[in-house]
Chains A and B, each alone.
Chain A
Amino acid sequence: MSFIKALGISATGLYAQKKRIELVSQNIANADTVLTEDGTPYQRKVAVLGENKNYRDFSTSLDRFSRPLENSGVKVTNILNDDRPPKIVYDPDHPLATEDGYISLPNIDTTEEMLDLLAASRAYEANTTVLNTTKSMFAKSLEIVR
Chain B
Amino acid sequence: MNINPISPVSAQRTINQASGINQADYKQFSDKLKNAMNNFTENLESANDSLNKTIVGDSEHYLDFLIQTEKNAMNLQVTLQVRNKVVDAYNEIMRMQL
Q: Do chains A and B touch in the complex (CB under 8 A)?
A: no
Chain A contact residues, CB within 8 Å of chain B: none
